[in-house]
Amino acid sequence: MPELILAPIEDAMLYHDAKTPIGSVLRSAGWAQTPVQFRITGQFSAGVESAKMLQRVQDGVSDILSHRRNANGALTSRSGFIADLQKLAISEGLTPVDESKRGTIQDITSEARARLIYEMQTADAMGFANWKSGQDPDMLNAVPAWELYRKAERKVKRHWEARWQEAGAAVGWVGASKEAMVALKTSPIWEALSRFGKPWPPFDFGSGMWVRPVLRRRARELGLLQMGQELKPSKAEFTDKLQREVKELKPAARQNLKSIFGDQIEVDQDVVKWKGDAKVYEQQRTRIREDAGRVFARSEEALGGNRLGGGSPDSPSQLQADVARANAVEISAVSTGRKPLFHESYGDANWAESVAKDLQPHLPNGVVARSEGPNLFVYDQGLTSKFATEERPVWDQVRDNSDNGRWLGFGLDRFEAMAAKRATVQVVIVDPAGKAVAGFQTDIKTAELYAAARALDWTRATGQNYEGRVIRYLRGPA
């Protein structure tokens, strides 16, 4: 039977129009680590910083959902929207540097990517409208369940039956039928099934899967509810969950979101929300790229004479050059507000002191270069003060936490993780040629987010495209 939707177009429009265009270099995996609330209220496309592109997506989908006509009286069409996105992406210079990605869905200038954006944006809006109308008390008790089914064929089909079983097991089969892919609309299985953490379809990119209504009688036959049982809408519970998820963000993760999204995001105690203005963000990213490149060049030159790896200042070894480059990236990240602290021990007190003195004039206000013995520290006073307590000077705490992964921008103190037997994974930063240039351990739950952030440090500093990869072997309990 068809679903009875009370006001689908209006709900879909309101849902979509409430989104804020957000620019970011995060790929899909990185976005998946941000709170669901951010993904629901933010208008974004993975790996896109262009304010014009994001605004065109927002406006174009709004026109399609509302059946709005242009000055010539024509409706915005699917094909017209896709063609416009491609032209704009090309004019914005968003063609991938990596030729292997051109023409794929990772290429924002390709028809495949533009078509995916159209399909996902419109389907998400209509999926929300369907879910919202289904939460009406009368509708919910008359049509209490959904069945997951294949709406569109695909050449390569995912194993949705297996994913259904995994999602059901993850929530203890609460309200889920093992006989068929049917569950109550209020069951947590829908969120567990979704790649996006939402209780409405689509549940993955280009899946071809959707939901259809299941009447009360059929739901009873499947044992999903009892005679006379009344269901309560789950809309309020889902909203509360979104708010809790944001409140439970740890300080390091909050700061990492701030470093990625800049002034598009507002962080205030337990409230983290979008402020918007992707155009300002784009301008800020340009300035940060320029600042990071400037500090990087100066740092690499100053650090090139370090005593690590043999060689000499006049004839540095390859290890010296690699270490100098990696450390220069981290110093530039601190100087542009993306990372709280850099620390390295070089084995020579005089050299560390001279580099600190040489770097300080090139760093912005609030960023300190300081040495102690053979150790060089560069830290952002504002960022590190958020980790520090009021009882002791910030510098003392910077020194004491010089190997703490949270202070260093990796999201996790590996020593605390080892003591607590927490599961960690390895992140590797890879250059355009596929060579690993840096790495660190972090929490499995936020690994993609920190991988994206630290890869962005390299991209900003060097002007080349670096990638953060999560190596999926675990340290500690899974």
The answer to whether 401 and 417 have CB atoms below 8 angstroms apart is no
Q: What is the pLDDT of residues 291-309, one digit of tens each?
A: 888 999 888 888 875 544 4
Tell whether 407 is covered by a domain. Answer: yes
First to last CA, the chain: 43
Q: Are residues 304 and 416 in the same domain?
A: yes
Domain hosting 373: range is 277-475
Is residue 242 a part of any domain in this protein? no
Q: Which of 108, 133, 158 is the last residue of a domain?
A: 133
Q: Are residues 25 and 49 in the same domain?
A: yes
Residues 441 and 340 in one domain: yes
- What is the model's pLDDT at position 92? 78
* Domain-ending residue, one of 106, 133, 160: 133
Do 367 and 412 sit in the same domain of this protein? yes
pLDDT tens-digit profile of 69-111? 666 666 678 888 888 888 888 887 788 767 777 888 888 888 8
- pLDDT value for 311: 47
Secondary structure of residue 291 in the 3-state scheme: helix
Based on the domain organization, do 336 and 439 belong to the same domain? yes
My answer on whether 129 and 224 are in the same domain is no
For tokens 């000499």, name the residue: 312
Global pTM value: 0.62
Residue 171 located in a structural domain: yes
Residue 245 lies inside a defined structural domain of this protein: no
Q: Are 102 and 202 in the same domain?
A: no
Q: Taking the CA atoms of 378, 380, 381 and 387 in sequence, report the sign of the dihedral they define.
A: negative
- 239 occurs within a structural domain: no
**Last-in-domain residue among 77, 102, 133:** 133
- DSSP annotation of 262 reads G
Task: Kindly state the helix (H) or strand (E) to which residue 51 belongs, with its residue range.
Answer: helix 51-66
Distance CA 87, CA 176 (A): 45
Give the pLDDT of residue 475.
58
SS3 (DSSP) at 321: helix
CA distance 66 to 14: 10
Question: What six digits make up the tokens of 186?
Answer: 């209020």
Q: pLDDT tens digits, residue range 151-193?
A: 988 888 889 999 999 999 888 876 666 668 999 999 999 999 9
Kindly state whether residues 145 and 224 are assigned to the same domain. yes
Question: How, if at all, do strands 20-21 and 42-43 pair?
Answer: parallel
Could you tell me if 467 and 409 lie in one domain? yes
Tokens of 243: 């708010």
| One domain for residues 307 and 447 | yes
Task: Determine, yes or no, domain membership for 238.
Answer: no
Q: Is the dihedral of CA 280, 451, 457, 250 positive or negative?
A: positive
117 in the same domain as 171: no
Which segments in the chain show pLDDT lower than 70? 1-9, 25, 69-75, 97, 174-179, 239-252, 255, 267-272, 276-278, 281, 305-317, 417, 419-420, 472-478
Query: Residue 259 falls within a domain, yes or no?
Result: no
The number of distinct structural domains making up the chain is 3
| 448 lies in some domain | yes
Q: Are residues 168 and 62 in the same domain?
A: no
